[in-house]
Structure 1
Amino acid sequence: MAEGLRERKKQRTRQALIQAAMRLFEEKGFEETTLAEIAAEADVSTRTFFSYFAGKEDVLFYDAGARLERALARLSARRPGDTVADLLLQLIDDSIGQAIAGAGTFDAAAVRVRLVLTVPSLQARALHVLLDSQLTLAKALHEAFRDRLTLSEAGATVGALIGAIMVAVMTDVDEDRSVEEIMATVRRAGEIALAGLRALG
């Protein structure tokens, strides 16, 4: 019982830090926001902040590992009738739901997208995370569809899909679109990319 209470308290503190950081990043800018300010906004000490995150960048990518794990789990649970394109579209829909719900509000999701696409240090971190994730996903896609895709074809498939989504989202951010519009763009870009992959079955 006590263990469950402690875990819930930890999750509440973690969420408070994420939401505090997002608010401050939006109000002051990423570079201008300090760790001490984030901790104070969440009503915890700076030491407590470091119990949850190594630095400011980690707050923005707080769910990267969990999202990748969910994607891998869906790929490994492929049903016999699933096609490559259909399964990848399910991954896109899952990812949209996670992006919207993960930070608590539509506004927080929009802040994260804008920051990742406009702050150079975050762009570099995002690229590193993205490349690692794409390689891992390509290997998992190959395993799920060994009868249909070589490893290089799986890599090309994942690269085409994520590349299409990233460039489309960047155009939306440039035009200051709402997060609802951005998420619609994510799905549409995925559909366009996958239309060219349906020949793979």
Structure 2
Amino acid sequence: MSEGLRERKKRRTREALIAAALELFQRQGYDATTVAQIAAAADVSTRTFFLHFPAKEDVVLANAEARVALAVRIIESRRPEEALPDVLARAIELMIADVSGSDLATGLADVRVRLALTVPELRSWLMRRLLDAQERLVEALCRSYPEEHDVVAVAALVGAMMGAVTSAAAYALRRGDAPEQVEAAMRQAAAGLAPRR
């Protein structure tokens, strides 16, 4: 099914807002950048900004919500014979592919890591969002595998996999690795915790 004109326009506006925010964050700093400046740089109104993002910090995780929703859909549509660790590994793999095609390609991932290192309130907000994402995956896995009664074990597995992938990406980006190297580091981290066959 092809994307309609309205959806394309909406996507282009969102991409313009992300690009404008990234440029401003890097040029003048996160704290000094206002929503009005981001909107003006993208040649849209402040109202249009808020149609795409609830707040300035949401631009930093622009694609995260869709990525988590993708993982939840993968978990909820699991194959009957698929074991819980296998479906989680598959969901994480698709999330990595999505990061590679969006956040790594646009430079958003790199800016996000640098902002997390330099803006304490943003770092704590990013940590809360990561924990919220993990909780959503744990809940989806528990719904899809009602026979798995140990929610703590499920939470530990989700935390280990997401933590390993996130940490590998952050350190690879801090080291200055190219996008394909960052993707490889994430895949290696996920593979290290994936179920052995």
Is TM > 0.5 for Structure 1 vs Structure 2?
Answer: yes
Number of the residue aligned with 1:164: 164
Distance in 2 (CA, whole Å) between partners of 1:84 and 1:116 is: 32
Runs of 5+ consecutive residues of structure 2 not aligned to the other structure: none
The superposition leaves residues 18-65 of structure 1 with CA deviations (integer Å, 9 ceiling, x where unpaired) of 121122223333223222321122111233323322321011122322
2:153 counterpart of 1:153: yes
Give the conservation status (yes or no) of the 8 Å contact 1:19–1:104.
no
- 2:54 is paired with a residue of what secondary structure? coil
Number of the residue aligned with 2:11: 11
Cα drift, residue 109 of structure 1: 3.4
- 2:124 is paired with a residue of what secondary structure? helix
Counterpart residue identity of residue 154, structure 2: A
Distance in 2 (CA, whole Å) between partners of 1:159 and 1:169 is: 15
Instruction: Note the 1:74-153 alignment, pairs <5 A.
Output: 74-103=74-103, 105-147=105-147, 150-153=150-153
Give the conservation status (yes or no) of the 8 Å contact 1:100–1:109.
no
Number of the residue aligned with 1:56: 56
Distance in 2 (CA, whole Å) between partners of 1:174 and 1:13 is: 29
Cα drift, residue 151 of structure 1: 1.8
Number of the residue aligned with 1:67: 67
Runs of 5+ consecutive residues of structure 1 not aligned to the other structure: none
RMSD across aligned positions (CA)? 2.5
Cα drift, residue 157 of structure 1: 0.8
Between 115-124 and 13-22, report the one with greater CA deviation. 115-124
Cα drift, residue 75 of structure 1: 0.4
Report percent identity of matched pairs.
Answer: 41
The superposition leaves residues 106-137 of structure 1 with CA deviations (integer Å, 9 ceiling, x where unpaired) of 43333234334543222111111111121221
Distance in 2 (CA, whole Å) between partners of 1:174 and 1:158 is: 24
Distance in 2 (CA, whole Å) between partners of 1:179 and 1:26 is: 18
Cα 1:106/1:53, change in 2 over 3 Å? closer
- 1:105 is paired with a residue of what secondary structure? helix
Distance in 2 (CA, whole Å) between partners of 1:162 and 1:108 is: 19
Distance in 2 (CA, whole Å) between partners of 1:88 and 1:41 is: 39
Cα 1:173/1:78, change in 2 over 3 Å? same
Cα 1:19/1:86, change in 2 over 3 Å? same
Counterpart residue identity of residue 60, structure 1: V
Distance in 1 (CA, whole Å) between partners of 2:192 and 2:6 is: 46
Counterpart residue identity of residue 112, structure 2: R
Distance in 2 (CA, whole Å) between partners of 1:140 and 1:76 is: 7
Distance in 2 (CA, whole Å) between partners of 1:147 and 1:171 is: 37
Counterpart residue identity of residue 40, structure 2: A
Cα drift, residue 188 of structure 1: 0.9
Cα drift, residue 104 of structure 1: 8.4
Give the conservation status (yes or no) of the 8 Å contact 1:100–1:106.
no
